[in-house]
Amino acid sequence: MKNLSLNKLVAVLIVILPLYFMIAALGTKFGLWSWQFSLGTLIRDGGPILLGLTALISLIALILAVVKKPRKGWLLPAAGIAIPAAVFAMLATTGSTAEANPIHDVATDTSNPPQFSASTMEARAASEANPLSDYQTPLGELDMYTGAAPELAIKSHAQIINETYADLSPLPLGGASRADAIAAVAAAMGNLGFADIRTDAEAGRVEGVAETFWFGFKDDVVARIGENEIDFRSVSRVGRSDLGANAARIAELRERVSSQIGQR
């Protein structure tokens, strides 16, 4: 009877786990609380407690199921151990990914990254977004990276981008006109679900806002269409590491535009 009650508790905890993390993420997306509260208090601090409690109770239930006759009902508590273990592994992987991708501002031109329009900068200021950093300044000299490891502090955005995202490069225009390229970039941004897409033919600039599904994190994206090539830049509004999202977004956007204008 006792084992049956424990199994019911394990079942409840297994249901609560995904709901807890979903609510933590969606609460930020819908403005119920800040992303710092979500990632810091709910996920980083509260998450391991809930995971550990689930694993501990499941372990006790599993031991009882194996030791006491008729030695059945072990599958549910086994799942109650496996699920927290998988989540812990995912969180550890996320930490490693953050270390491998320490910045949140990525561009295909590291000597002269594309610039955002005044309206985008106003939107970033209104949302208290991360400041745009000079690509040549060592991270250790930037307030956001205070306390960074010495081997990271001596590197600039340009160095990190060139080392970490060496495959990123401008997209040649080839035979495409600037007007065609601008239209292709705007269409690709639309197909990727970007919001607030704006084009400036005179400046040769296309901008849009990408938003993550769970947390609703917003990243500003700009494409600079020059005489011979297109450069891309994607910058997160919040957070220090983007977990590689901006580089991946640029690569996908570049690929979609290249397929439309027939260039690689």
Map 168-206 to HEC letters: CCCEECCCCCHHHHHHHHHHHHHHCCCEEEEEECCCCEE
- Domain of residue 16: give its range: 2-100
Give yes or no: residues 89 and 130 share one domain: no
Give yes or no: residues 140 and 256 share one domain: yes
Report which residue type is found at 125: A
Beta-carbon contacts of 183 under 8 Å, excluding residues fewer than 6 positions away, are none
Give yes or no: residues 121 and 246 share one domain: yes
Give yes or no: residues 128 and 254 share one domain: yes
- Quote the CA–CA distance of 158 and 105 in Å, as a whole number: 10
Beta-carbon contacts of 223 under 8 Å, excluding residues fewer than 6 positions away, are 114, 185, 205, 206, 207, 230, 231, 232, 233, 253, 257
Task: Please report where in the chains the tokens 């270390």 appear, as a residue.
Answer: 99
First vs last Cα of the chain: how many Å apart? 67
Give yes or no: residues 27 and 90 share one domain: yes
**CA-to-CA separations, 20 to 28, 48, 150, 181, in angstroms, rounded:** 13, 12, 36, 44
Give yes or no: residues 184 and 55 share one domain: no
Q: Considering 71, 100, 129, which residue would you say is the last residue of a domain?
A: 100
Q: Considering 100, 121, 141, which residue would you say is the last residue of a domain?
A: 100
Residue 42: CA atoms inside 13 Å, Cβ hemisphere, count?
Answer: 21
Q: What is the pLDDT along the chain (264 residues), one digit of tens a residue?
A: 456 689 999 999 999 999 999 999 999 999 999 999 999 999 999 999 999 999 999 999 999 998 887 777 899 999 999 999 999 999 899 999 999 999 999 999 999 999 999 999 999 999 999 999 999 999 999 999 999 999 999 999 999 999 999 999 999 998 899 999 999 999 999 999 999 999 999 999 999 999 999 999 999 999 999 999 999 999 999 999 999 999 999 999 999 999 998 765
What per-residue confidence (pLDDT) applies to 3?
63
Give yes or no: residues 60 and 127 share one domain: no
Give yes or no: residues 183 and 161 share one domain: yes
Give yes or no: residues 233 and 130 share one domain: yes
Give yes or no: residues 129 and 213 share one domain: yes
Give yes or no: residues 36 and 82 share one domain: yes
What per-residue confidence (pLDDT) applies to 83?
96
Q: Considering 31, 66, 100, which residue would you say is the last residue of a domain?
A: 100
Give yes or no: residues 149 and 227 share one domain: yes
What per-residue confidence (pLDDT) applies to 4?
66
What per-residue confidence (pLDDT) applies to 72?
79
Beta-carbon contacts of 176 under 8 Å, excluding residues fewer than 6 positions away, are 184, 261, 262, 263
User: What letter does residue 221 receive in the DSSP assignment?
Assistant: E
- pTM for the predicted model, two decimal places: 0.91
Domain CATH code at residue 175: 3.30.310
- Quote the CA–CA distance of 201 and 139 in Å, as a whole number: 34
What per-residue confidence (pLDDT) applies to 1?
45
Structural domains counted in the chain: 2
What per-residue confidence (pLDDT) applies to 120?
98
